[in-house]
Structure 1
Amino acid sequence: MARLYLVRHAKAAARFDEDPDPSLSDEGKEAAVDLALQLEGLGPIPIYTSPMERARETALPLANRWGVIPEVSAAFSEIPTPPEIAQQGIKARGPWLQQLAGQRYPAQPPIIRAWREGLIGMLKSCRSDTIVFTHFMVINAALSAALNDDRMVTSHPDFCSCTVVESTSRGLNLLSRGPEAATKVL
């Protein structure tokens, strides 16, 4: 069994419908340093991060404290935008993401279902305690598997929140949810 600490990135400098890969805001950079101090006692343990800039920047202070190099994995990246939405431009991504809140995974296009399956497979493959710096929808996908709930959104994790799941031979189990966002993303 492995404990997986799923950390939502700190506050970005731009919204998801303004910039496809923003860095952290000044507030987010400060929060990432504070988060490193909070998580320092867990390790050093392996660190995975999404390839997105805001997740990598959030992981950096903890990685530096531990002297480890985070492994970047696309499995922990943002939920992919279906091609028909992507071709409409970045402004179409916001409304598309917002409408996902009331949907379920079985009704999603193959690109979304494959993303979720790859993510869950990667989490299940972790054999030791691990920290994953990632995104709102990734945490929700992990929660949906841990809770055996096919809803796309079951939680509204706040920036720098840490949700803990356990990877066992039977799947994922929820141990604790991180704090919820005061304002809803989706």
Structure 2
Amino acid sequence: MTRLYLIRHGKPAAVWGEADDDPGLDGTGQAQARAARDWLMALPAAERPQLVVSSPLRRCRETAEPTAAALGVAVQVDPIVGEIPTPRALAQADRGPWLRRSFQGTWAQIDGDLDYDAWRRDIARAVAARGGTAVFSHYVAINAVISLLAGDDRVLSFRPDHASITVLETDGETLTLVEKGREAATGVL
């Protein structure tokens, strides 16, 4: 089994629903990105990630960059670890209420044009194939993986704080949760 790390992005300069659809990190988020790098680099060499993967969104890429620089690798962008897809017919202004409704139920109950239960399985498969990697992702995508591993069909089964690091192990196909990252109150709800 190989270790891998699922990291929520640092605190963004704006929250979802505000004017900027793809905000970068604020000063606190930048400090959180450096703290995540320091935590990962302090691991024993056998457990330290060798690759860095990020969601395409700026807040994740900016959180990933200090770790990638310390490891001497480029950030690999992978849309599968990105934000939960919004239904095509939904206006951007309606995303917040849609997410709030979605958070109250199960993956199979999410209203939209996508099978969100299949979406969470796709994310878990993609993460399982990335042993030895630090994966920088989002609140809902991390919940997708953790809820699947816990056998919990609720959309929100875990509340990862900004720059929270969840430790997993993989054999390339299956995932095992070693330790959940830090949980905290969040502005998501």
> Which amino acid in 1 is paired with 2:75?
P
**Matching residue of 1:34:** 35
Answer yes or no: is 1:161 the counterpart of 2:164: yes
Give yes or no for contact 2:106–2:155 (8 Å, CA) kept in 1.
yes
CA contact (8 A) 2:53 2:76 kept: yes
Deviation (angstroms), 1:169: 6.6
Percent of matched pairs sharing the same residue = 39
CA distance in 1, matches of 2:51, 2:186: 31
Secondary structure (helix, strand or coil) at the match of 2:5 reads: strand
Find 1:107's aligned residue among 90, 106, 109. Answer: 109
- Structure 1 residue 33, shift from structure 2 partner: 1.5
Number of residues paired by the alignment?
Answer: 182
CA distances 1:80-125 after superposition (whole Å, capped 9, x unpaired)? 001132xx23x21112112222211122345233432321221122
Q: RMSD over aligned Cα, in angstroms?
A: 1.8
Most deviating of 11-20 and 102-111: 102-111
Out of 19, 28, 53, the position equivalent to 2:58 is 53
Structure with greater helix percent: 1
TM-score by length of 2: 0.88
Moved more, 73-82 or 37-46: 37-46
Moved over 3 A (4+): none
Counterpart CA distance in 2 for 1:110 and 1:4 is: 31
Give secondary structure in 1 for the equivalent of 2:68: helix
Deviation at residue 44 of structure 1 after TM alignment = 4.8
Conserved in 2, the CA contact under 8 Å of 1:124 and 1:168?
Answer: yes
Q: In the alignment, is the contact (CA less than 8 A) between 1:156 and 1:184 conserved in 2?
A: no
Unaligned runs of 5+ in 2: none
